[in-house]
Amino acid sequence: MTMTRNPLARSPAPARMSGMSLMEILIAMAIGLIGIVVITQTYLVNENYKRSTTSAGGAQTNGALALFTIEREVRMAGWGISWGAALGCTNIQWHYNGEYSSPPQAGGTLPALILAPVVITDGGAGADTVTVMYGTGTERVIPATLSKTMPSPSAELEVDNPQGFSDTPGDMVLIVQGGTCAMTQITQVQPAAGHLQHNPGNTAPYNPPGGGSLLPAFSSGAQVFNLGRPIVNVYSIPPPPNNSALQVASLFSAASSTVVPAYTPTPFTIVEHIVDLQAEYGKDNGVNNGTVAAAAYTANDDIVDSYDNVTPANGVEWQQVLSVRIGVLARSEHFVKPENVGDPCSATTVAPSWRGGTFNVPGGIPSCYGYRAFETVVPLRNMIWRQG
């Protein structure tokens, strides 16, 4: 049977294509933009809190590290030199590679070294400078005595007992007589003869040429201190605009124990973001200046009576320095923005302080940075245990 196609039959109409209208697209975009704004604002607020937190943590770490570094050095201060007679010397005469200190040479280029465990240089409105000095000789901390007058500055040192002195490259001795003192380098120890040689030469840059030496010659009875390899470290903060790091100049440094230490006055940074350093002497001078609470103030009773930053004038006053009070101010690494645009900085609105007074905040108060203040009192054990 043959089927005939119906010409009137039609295929079903396709389904109607549907989509978003322009109004719906605009509404979706508006909702998305609102979400982006909220998310961005939340992120910025969270980032600001995170930066503040991490900055505070960084300042905490930097400040603690800076204070620990100085405190550790100060605890060693005075080793081998805390002797009553030696502390009266206010200017060590010394030589290095053709250059002298002043004295003995007028206008000498080498810095003046004060024979004291810790010397505080008041920075006024800026940071103070703290110089720490001690010896490293471990076999002899009691001075020897010159048994014979030196006929010339370059003459050998004839001492009553040479035991404990060493001719290790770079070992130094300090000769003290009255208010005069000089530092020289030992080149040879002769125990049998009781002689300490300090000959000039390429391996002895701290000894001036024999014929032209300006250093003093000492008489019988002068004291000879074993410094070993002397340590003189100068802690400071550079002046503005770079006043944001603790630096140290290690004046006598060497790469190893087999070479003579070189005179290296150039400072280098040890802790970043330290903006102020303050220090004061703790003195057993019987003075009540309101910095120490005590029932009685008696000089030389081994109890600190006052704190100040006035440099002692003589050996008697140096012997009264029993401790050092140190303050360090660390600044956050990141700038803390005000909560609202156009508002003044409010991260720090009150200048940080320590027992010695108010710290110096770079740029003044209010500040856009956070700060952490640290302080400690370090007993000068080598002064407390001193002899002579």
Q: 347-359, pLDDT tens digit by residue?
A: 888 999 999 999 9
Q: How far is CA 202 from CA 74, 165, 234, 337, in A?
A: 33, 21, 27, 58
Exposure letters 350-379 (e unless 16+ CB within 10 A, then b): ebbebebeebbbbeeeebbbbbbbbbeebe
**In contact, 125 and 237? CB cutoff 8 Å:** no
At 146, the amino acid letter reads L
**Predicted pLDDT of residue 29:** 86
Closest among 217, 212, 103 to 150, alpha carbons compared: 217
**Predicted pLDDT of residue 175:** 95
Exposure letters 179-195 (e unless 16+ CB within 10 A, then b): ebbbbbbbbebeeeebb
CA distance 130 to 121: 6
Phi then psi for residue 39, to 5 deg, are: -65, -45
CA distance 101 to 113: 9
CA distance 198 to 172: 9
**In contact, 276 and 359? CB cutoff 8 Å:** yes
Q: In what order do the strands lie in the sheet with 274-283?
A: 306-308, 274-283, 321-331, 371-379
From the first residue on, what is the mean pLDDT of each consecutive set of 10 residues in the chain (388 residues)? Answer: 56 62 83 85 67 68 95 94 82 95 94 94 94 90 93 94 91 92 95 92 91 91 94 94 91 90 95 96 96 94 95 92 97 81 84 94 88 96 80
User: How many beta carbons lie within 10 A of that of residue 109, not counting itself?
Assistant: 12
CA distance 214 to 209: 9
**Predicted pLDDT of residue 52:** 58
**Predicted pLDDT of residue 217:** 95
Positive or negative: CA dihedral 164, 167, 172, 174:
positive
CA distance 131 to 236: 9
**In contact, 312 and 116? CB cutoff 8 Å:** yes
